[in-house]
Structures are given as structure tokens and as C-alpha cells.
Structure 1
Amino acid sequence: MRAAIVGGGVIGGGWAARFAVMGWEVRVFDPAPDAEARLSPIMEAAARALPMLYEAPMPEPGAVSYHADLAEAVEGADWVQESVPERLDLKQAVWREILDAAPRGAMLGSSTSGFRPGELQEGMGSEGRILVAHPFNPVYLLPLVELVGSAKTDAGLLEKASEILTGIGMYPLRVRAEIDAHIADRLLEAVWREALWLVRDGIATTAEIDDAIRMGFGLRWAQMGLFETYRLGGGEAGMRHFLKQFGPCLQLPWTRLTEVPDFDDALVETIAAQSDAQSGGVTIPQLARRRDDNLVAILRALKMQGNAAGAVLRDHDATLRGRLDETLPMVTVRRVVPADWTDTNGHMNEGRYGQIFSDAAEEFMHHVGADAAYIAAGHSYFTAETTIRYLAETLAGERVRVETRVTLGEGRKLRLVHEMRGEADGTLRAGCDQFLLHVSLDTRRSCPPLPAVAAEVERIARLHAGETPVQG
């Protein structure tokens, strides 16, 4: 699959990075001679951070090329994403060029944060082909993309766009009707406008406003949104009680939402100075790295619970899994070490070695048929004993694999020997000898596995017989 990215700014670069990490060939159109140099940090950040969200092996990254000719960039593209500056005349001019050169069957998306698709299509006879696909920065980590069609847009086109975006791990939110600034930016604009007044009137500083969001309702919004949060605010009686109790407050002059402060030099300087002080001298790349690591940790935490954006990530992770190759070395895990797996020494915490070897055992169990359905039916394997040897440091962002050998597979007994190696050089980082017993989840006691699982375990044990694992 090939994606063409028209415009190499922060958003265009984020799109390029998201597509490339997910295995698409990417062609970037940006006539500036420094386009590749500007986008390289974004591509590197995405290659580091996005795979940390996944337990499954990632696709091979797609090739990225840079082009000064738009027609060359969009040639053969399956998806064209326009991300040029927010000027309607400029966007329309670019879209005329795209429509002249892009394949007829290509999906056409605009990253516009404010314009309606009908405005982009005006006078082009594009028959509703141009869609709004509005993402959020960083595009390579945040899943939301607002998907908007015009009155001319066929529903099948929106459905196809949704499938493609879901396939690269995003969450397409279908906006029901065209409206300026779609949904999310209208909400953000309301909060931004009120924040400007709070700063302008000396009520709060930029740091205090950010603290009010990130220490409180921002965390709630991250996993539950607005309305479900307020539903909980009503207690057992739910939303009705909340509305009855707090609805009248809407008549109180709590905000200046309908007014806009004069965006004069004094206000700009006040906000800029406070923001400089708030950052404490931390550079933009340092802030971006901090943001990425925080988002990885939050999204992974939500993934463990299967909630909100974590559910999207969990479901997409499952689509990347494939059947294991039983020949030696039998690779059961291939992944990037997440930032939240490290300790105060800056390397992988010893508890996470236990987790990665546990994950390897679970992948093996799934392979032999002891999967979620098997467990739901009341059967599983429990680890009875492990011995782990820590042989070399492993750092966040490193790619590793676990190779697994079956050294015992008979009756209720299963013994797995794992080796964790660096993906790049094959160096042995840790070894694990894991002994498991099959159990009944009804009695919580050991029992023989069901015949189909027992046969698979024994078959692979015979296949691996005579292989002596190396553990340093």
C-alpha cells in the first residue's frame, strides 16, 4: 500500500510516520529543500514510540521518499493526505493539482482542522471524493481522526476510509454533518477561549490552568470523556440527577464563553512569558519525548483495562498476531521495550523480564490451543517455578525477541526454556527456565490437559527433542 503526504509540516510528518511504521510505502511532497531534514526527527520519534504500544510483532516499516513534484508523489497512491496550511485558497489550489494527478480510486483526505469538505470540493466537480480526515498531534500516537464527508459523498467511500484508518491503528470518528471545525476543535476552542480570559483577567497563570486540566478532569477525559464522567457525577441516580443538580448552573455567569478577548500584544506577551516560565528551560524535543513517553504509559495502562483509546489499541494489537513458527528457534515474542518497563537505573526492570517470559508462555499456550476459549471453559496452565538469569542490560526502545524451546511436554507437565535476545545483534540478554502445570480452573488443582492440547504439546516437545538451549 502507498500513501502520499502532501505537505511536510508537523501534521503531515505525523501522518507520514504513522503510515510508514504501519508498513505503508510513503511518498512526501514538500518542495522545500530541507523537508527530509525537518521530518526526520518526527520519523525517528514515531519509530521509537509507536511500537512500544504493541505486544505483537510490528510490520516491516515502509520506505519513505521525498518529492518536489506533486504528480510524482501521488502517482499510484492508495491514500492521499493533504496537510498544507489552513488557507482555503491554498488548499483548493493544491486539491486541483491532486485531482489531476492522483489515481481515480485513491482515497483523498484533508487534515484541515476547520474547513468543511464541501468548501474544499467547491468548483472542482470531485463528486464528493475529498474527505476531511482531521487527526491530532502527535498523529503517530493519538488514534482519533475526525472523518467528514459532504452531501455529495457516498457512504461507501466513508466506510472504505474508516477501514483503512482502522487498519493503521486509528479511531475514525464519523462526524454526522458538515460543520466548521468539526467536533473536537470546537470543544478545544471553547476551553481555549475561556483560558485566554482567565489569563487576561489575572485569575490564573498558564501553569495553573494546565495543572487544573492535567491533574484533574484531563485524566478523567482521557479514559471516559465528558458525558460519562458527568453521569458518574450524578451517583447512583446517574445523568438525570446530575442534570437536575448542576443544570441550573448553566444560567450562572461562570464563564465568558460567548465573548472573545482582544488578542493584543499585551495578552500575547503575558501568555508567552508565562509559558516560558512554565517550561523551566526544557527544550521542545525534550518536551516532545516526555509527552510521547507519558502517552505510551497512559495508553498502555488503558489498554490493560480495555477502555477508551486502550480498547482501540488492544483490538489492533490482536490483528497483528500470526501463527508461530514451530522450528527452532521458536520465536514467541518480538517487540519493542516500552519506556514504562524501565526502573531508576534506566534499564528494563527485573519484573518485566518475568512479564516478557510470561507473555512468551501465553503465546505458546495460544499456539497449542490453550487459548482464551480454552481458559473460559475451565482449563489452563499455571507457572509452578521459574529461574531467570539476567545477563545483559536492556533499555527502553530496544527491539528484542524471545526464543522458546519445549524441553518437557508430557501429561500435566510443561517445561519451557526461554532466551531473550537483542533483535539487532542477537546478543543474549536473559534466560528463563519455566515449569508449568496444567490445572482445572474449577478445582484450582492440577489435572491432565484436554486431549487436543496434550497432543499438540507432546508433538512440539518431540520436535524440539535433542536441542540444548544456551543460557550464557
Structure 2
Amino acid sequence: MTGSAAIIGGGVIGGGWAARFALMRWEVRIFDPDPEAERKIGEVMANAARVLPMLYEAPMPTRGAITYVGTVAEAVAGADWIQESVPERLDIKHRVIAEIQAACSPDAVLASSTSGFKPSELQQGAARSGQIMVAHPFNPVYLLPLIELVPSAASDAAIVTRAKEILTAIGMYPLHVRAEIDAHIADRFLEAVWREALWLVKDGIATTEEIDNAIRYGFGLRWAQMGLFETYRVAGGEAGMRHFMAQFGPCLQWPWTKLTDVPEFTDELVDLIAGQSDAQSGHMGIRDLERLRDNNLVAILRALKQQGAAAGKLILDHDNSLRASLGDEIPLVTVRRVVPVDWTDINGHMNEGRYGQLFSDASEELMIHIGADREYIAAGHSYFTAETSIRYLAETHAGEDIRVTTRVALGAGKKLKLWHQMHRAADDALLATCDQFLLHVSLETRRSCPPLPHVAAALDRLAAAHAEVTA
């Protein structure tokens, strides 16, 4: 699913929305009166273009164009999705929404990035309340998939459904918030943690760095994969959540926290927090911190993807939806992808073990192409690698766009010999080659055997075609 998106208000959030849509083949038009908007959004786009493709094994869609326009009307004309990310002032949002609705299609999704206002507040005085809803993202929008989608009773159900379909198609997770509530869902947790953290610093119990360490070395790692309730279910042991509630429920009456109290927001508190934060992270620039954050997020999300868990399952499903079947080109392009950060070693280039994975992925794509797919394997047949020879010809680095071409050198009976070549997309440099010999096997006997007729016929045709080209 593709279309055109209008981004009203750039900045970090608007720029993240623009990058997510553009990298998923949407045409994007941006309106932002800031004279520095194009530079700022360009930097966000550069970050996104570097890291988002690292999440996927499938080739990324062709990037959609980003156009900067001079008026709201130019941005929203004909747009399928309109994302408002202007400052958190209701009067500004009302004025901008009125401008948008004067020029946009009545069927367009009109979503606000607001973290503080309810959709019914945004709809006050609007020409068409039904198309307005909240779509609250999390920074960086181009990597974190959660979107809190909050309609009101006045929101058009058909437009809400289309909004969920669009968000899913661009790899995001629309969490449909069933009832309006201040700060939606996730920010209420964040506010509670933030408030308690301010007290701990103010009272001299912990520094900003110690609090961050408590989160990132402890429960933050559990939350990334299990969330809150599943974490506590496990903590209840074999008896589960009921036992956990019985064991730890009474402590809710103890005066441990200050969640109902807010520390006085004084200059002294600001100086204390800011000073500790500078001591903790002031040696790094904001772009350095963003790059570190994005690299870490990619590595964490890819680990979850490998396990098919939490946000990783979402990316895995989206990756499969992006993967197209192989065409008839010779040699076959079996892999198109970007090298992720977790594939590099201490020398800063791609680890040799990942070459084996890459060429294995290429072989699996060829197997699928000839009919030896998951169903075929589930029925008890497959190909096993018997011998591999890899030559490393040039360095490969994280973020590089690469492709692997595959040629059938031998396809006779139970024997399959493949010749893989790995190229860098930017300059077509040959980075590595792989000579791979496979045998068809019965998964029941674990011994070699001829492939089933439809696979054998497909392999014969492919081998003959490749032999003609190389003859």
C-alpha cells in the first residue's frame, strides 16, 4: 500500500514521520515555516535511511520523493495521510487543522502527533470532526513501531480502519486506544517514572546516571521483550500472575513512592538535573547520541526479530510482506539488503561468519524459487549444504547496500552446485564469492535422495538456462 503523505510541522517528530513514509515508498510533501526545516529534516532522513533498512532482510521499497512546499494547502492537496506535528498549543492546532481541512480531501486521514491533547479537544470547531484522530508516535519514529491511535466518538470508523491499515503497511503497530484519556497510555507510564526519578534526584538518593543505569541494566531489558504484565507473570513462578498478585499486592499499600506528589519545579531542581545530565552525557553531541541510540535499537530489534518476539515479530512479519518472489533474470538476484550494525566485528567490517549467513540466505531464496519451500521442507524433503568455499575480496561495512547473484552451476539429480557473487550496490564492486555444493535429502532418513518431480523439473529448467548464458 502506497500513497501520498503530508507532514505539517517538521522537527524531530515530523521529520521522523516523513522518513518512515518516504522509506516505505510514499510520496511526501512537507510544510514547515522554519527556514532551517529542510536541513533539519534532511539530517533526520539521513539517520533513518542508514538504520531502518538494517532491520530487514528483504530489499527496501523504492524511496518516495520528499518535497518541501510553501503552504499548508499545497502540502495536503490530494494527500491520503496528513500528519500534524505543530507545537503543543491547542489554539495553534485548531488554526492549523482549519487550514488543513479547507484544502484536503474529506476522506484523508488527519492525524495529530500530540502527546497531551485528546482527539475531542482537537475536533472542537472543526469542519469535519470525523476525519480527525490522534496518532501519537515515539522517537525515533522511523525505528520505533508503536503508534497510539486514539479516535473519539465522533471519529469516522472507516477512516480509523484505513489509518490502521496504512500504519501496518509501513511497518508500524497501531495500538487502538479504545477510550480518550489524558496522555493516552504509554506517556502515563513515562510520566510516573519521570516523576519518581525527579524525587530521587532532588532528595539526593540517586544521580541521573544511576537512575538510567537502574533502568538499562535491569528492568528495561525485560520490558523491551515482555512488557509489564508478562514480566510479573514470570515473576510469579509456576503459579503465575495470581500468585504474584497475592504475594506482592500488599506492598501497594506501603509508602514507597511519591507518584501522587510532584516536586516543586524550581530553578535549583533544573540546575541539579541539568548539571548531572551534562556530567553524564555532555561529552557527546546530540547527533552522536542519536547515532548510538539508533545503532543500539537496531541491534536490540534484530535480536527480538531473530526470536520472533515482541517488536521483533512485527518487523519479521513486515519483512516477509516486503519480500518479492524472484524473477527470471540470469543470474538470479537472490539477496538485496543493507548490512546491519550487528554484522560487524572488532575491525569495523562485516564478520566472516555473516558471509556464510548471507550466502545461505541466497541459497534458501533459490530453493524457494524452484519449489523447495517451507511446505516442501515440512513434507520431509530439503537440501543440505555439503561443502562451501568463500573468498573474501573486499571489506564490507555496516550501512552498505549489497546484493547477491546466484547461478546454478550444476543441477543434476540429487546434486546442486551454486555460484554466488556478492556486490556492493553503490559501485558494483565484487566483495565476495561463494562456491556451494548441496545435496537433496530426505528429512525422514537424513540421507540423500532425488528431489520430487516438480522441484527436479524446475531445477532442470533453471540449470539449462544458466548453462546457455555461461556457455
Same fold (TM over 0.5): yes
1:30-59 Cα offsets, whole Å, 9 max, x none, are 012221011111000001100000000111
State the match for 1:415 in structure 2.
Answer: 417
SS in 2 for 1:12: helix
Pick one of 118, 121, 139 that aligns with 1:119.
Answer: 121
State the match for 2:79 in structure 1.
Answer: 77
Structure-2 separation of matches of 1:297 and 1:150: 37
**Aligned ranges 1:20-169 → 2 under 5 Å:** 20-169=22-171
CA contact (8 A) 2:107 2:159 kept: no
State the match for 1:306 in structure 2.
Answer: 308
Structure-2 separation of matches of 1:315 and 1:212: 32
1:67, distance to aligned residue in structure 2 (A): 1.5
Structure-2 separation of matches of 1:306 and 1:336: 20
CA contact (8 A) 2:409 2:419 kept: yes
State the match for 1:250 in structure 2.
Answer: 252
AA in 1 matched with 2:188: R
**Of 244-253 and 460-469, the range deviating more from structure 2:** 460-469
Structure-1 separation of matches of 2:380 and 2:331: 31
Structure-2 separation of matches of 1:117 and 1:303: 33
Pick one of 319, 327, 352 that aligns with 1:350.
Answer: 352
State the match for 1:359 in structure 2.
Answer: 361
Could you list the structure 1 runs, at least 4 aligned residues long, displaced by more than 3 angstroms after superposition. 466-469
SS in 2 for 1:465: helix
Structure-2 separation of matches of 1:375 and 1:158: 40
Taking structure 2 as the reference length, the TM-score comes to: 0.98
CA contact (8 A) 2:22 2:64 kept: yes
AA in 1 matched with 2:18: A
CA contact (8 A) 2:98 2:127 kept: no
1:466, distance to aligned residue in structure 2 (A): 4.1
Structure-2 separation of matches of 1:115 and 1:128: 16
1:152-200 Cα offsets, whole Å, 9 max, x none, are 1232221110000001000000001011110000111011010010011
CA contact (8 A) 1:401 1:423 kept: yes
State the match for 2:17 in structure 1.
Answer: 15
State the match for 1:442 in structure 2.
Answer: 444
Taking structure 1 as the reference length, the TM-score comes to: 0.98
State the match for 1:430 in structure 2.
Answer: 432
The alignment status of 1:340 with 2:348, answered yes or no, reads: no
1:449, distance to aligned residue in structure 2 (A): 1.3
State the match for 2:378 in structure 1.
Answer: 376
AA in 2 matched with 1:358: S
Q: For the aligned residues, what is the CA RMSD?
A: 1.0
1:123, distance to aligned residue in structure 2 (A): 1.4
CA contact (8 A) 1:143 1:309 kept: yes
Structure-2 separation of matches of 1:424 and 1:402: 14
List runs of 5+ in structure 2 lacking aligned partners: none
**Of 435-444 and 304-313, the range deviating more from structure 2:** 435-444
**Aligned ranges 1:214-233 → 2 under 5 Å:** 214-233=216-235
Structure-2 separation of matches of 1:242 and 1:467: 67
The alignment status of 1:197 with 2:233, answered yes or no, reads: no
1:236-291 Cα offsets, whole Å, 9 max, x none, are 00000000000101000110000000011111111111111111501111111111
The alignment status of 1:403 with 2:401, answered yes or no, reads: no
**Aligned ranges 1:279-318 → 2 under 5 Å:** 279=281, 281-318=283-320
1:377-410 Cα offsets, whole Å, 9 max, x none, are 1111111100000001111100000000001111
1:326, distance to aligned residue in structure 2 (A): 2.5
SS in 2 for 1:11: helix
Structure-1 separation of matches of 2:359 and 2:406: 9
SS in 2 for 1:80: strand
SS in 1 for 2:129: coil
**Of 82-91 and 442-451, the range deviating more from structure 2:** 442-451
CA contact (8 A) 2:101 2:127 kept: no
Structure-2 separation of matches of 1:306 and 1:122: 42
1:102-129 Cα offsets, whole Å, 9 max, x none, are 1122111100001100000011141321
Structure-1 separation of matches of 2:328 and 2:446: 30
**Aligned ranges 1:310-329 → 2 under 5 Å:** 310-329=312-331
Structure-1 separation of matches of 2:379 and 2:284: 53
The alignment status of 1:462 with 2:464, answered yes or no, reads: yes
